[in-house]
Amino acid sequence: MRYLSKQRVYSICYKILKSANVNNYSAKAVAEGLTYASLRGIDSHGLRLICHYYHSAKSGRKNINPKMNISKKFPTLLSLDADHAFGHAAGSYAIEHGSKIAKKFGICAVSVFNSSHPGALSSIVSKVAKKNLIGIGFTNADALLLSHNSKKPFFGTNPLCFVAPKKNKKEPFCLDMATSKITWNKLNILKKNKMKLDKNLAADINGESTVFPNLAKSLFPIGDYKGYGLAAMVEILCSILSGMPYGPQLLPMFTSDINKKRFISQFYIILRNDFVISSKDFIHNIENMSKQVTNSPSKKNSKVLLPNHPEIQFMKKRNKTGIPINKELIEEINYIISENNIPLKTL
């Protein structure tokens, strides 16, 4: 296992994408997103995806120079045709434009279509907190979530993310979660490491729990039918609203023909925090709430945490020790660097 600084990880991601002729805006957005995820311990959506993203850019699945186009029928409701851009770039573009509208009118919603996998949603939605705004993000995905009372999946893991600013531009309140108990990327990591799953995380072909990743055909939702319901809600906000493919109509990320586009949808809501009380009072209230929660009585040898606290702890640690990268990923990255004469030192 090697450890790389966040600057090194960003440089690797950016230069590999640029070698595939990805435009500067997209390369920066993806490199930032992957570095952000790895730094926060979300390894399933971090550096390990760079090789797949490189090949998807070279194959034409991702548009390396998209002409993203925003239109609107109503002042605060935008639609973004992402032109099959990298999902990180499409989401960042939506957030940038939506934030300007929200600052002026108080709220903005952006429907994003003809997109691709946006990685960790928090890497995109957290940007609004730096503008002292509240943000909510959603994305759909290919069918992996076991339907309630079914043997088969229909909806994707369909994650959602909510962020709210805190004082002095500290790390925001941030909830970033899939509607499944585990992501498929994490399952693939366990499969590669030949590790077993805990029970009731994944289901086999008959819809029954399995501890063997190689037998998994779907993932169990959080909260049983409630997580399944949340996934359906996200699907409506993302694909149904924008008229895009949904559920089983979407191509799987890793196992489908990499030459074919995926037509992923995203949806964002951005709003001001001062339309009832002042922004100062909002920040004061969220800080007080956070202190009251974390100072409440805890179980022995544990602490009461809020969403984002574990990721902040990962960030502090990895800023010091570096981001871990295993031998297999080192070999994949070194191969791409060497074969394409990328101006990077091999790892």
The model's pLDDT over 170-179, given as tens digits with 9 standing for 90+, comes to 899 999 999 9
Residues 23 and 82 in one domain: no
Residues 24 and 154 in one domain: no
Predicted pLDDT of residue 192: 84
**What is the domain-level CATH number for residue 43?**
1.10.1530.10
pLDDT band of residue 35 (cuts 50, 70, 90) is very high
pLDDT tens for 299-334 read 988 999 999 999 999 999 999 999 999 999 999 999
Residue 244 has pLDDT above 90, yes or no: yes
pLDDT tens for 48-100 read 999 999 999 999 999 999 999 999 999 999 999 999 999 999 999 999 999 99
State which of 274, 309, 339 marks the end of a domain.
Answer: 274
Residue 188 has pLDDT above 90, yes or no: no
Residues 117 and 240 in one domain: yes
Is the pTM here over 0.85, yes or no?
yes
Predicted pLDDT of residue 19: 97
Q: Is residue 45 assigned to a domain?
A: yes
CA atoms within 13 A of residue 85's CA, in its CB half-sphere: 29
For 163, the enclosing helix (H) or strand (E) is strand 160-164
What is the rounded CA–CA span in Å between residue 267 and residue 137?
6
Domain coverage including residue 124: 66-180+221-274
Residues 40 and 82 in one domain: no
- Average pLDDT over the chain reads 96
Residue 169 has pLDDT above 90, yes or no: no
For 175, the enclosing helix (H) or strand (E) is strand 173-177
Predicted pLDDT of residue 166: 96
Averaged pLDDT for residues 240-245: 98
Q: How many domains does the chain have?
A: 2
What is the rounded CA–CA span in Å between residue 289 and residue 177?
21
Predicted pLDDT of residue 283: 97
Residue 275: count of CB within 10 angstroms of its CB: 10
What is the rounded CA–CA span in Å between residue 187 and residue 181?
11
Q: Is residue 342 assigned to a domain?
A: yes
| Token pair of 287 as six digits | 């800080």
The residues facing 107 across adjacent strands are 271
Q: Is residue 295 assigned to a domain?
A: no
Residues 34 and 116 in one domain: no
pLDDT band of residue 193 (cuts 50, 70, 90) is confident
**What is the domain-level CATH number for residue 229?**
3.30.1370.60
Residues 43 and 70 in one domain: no
Residues 109 and 49 in one domain: no
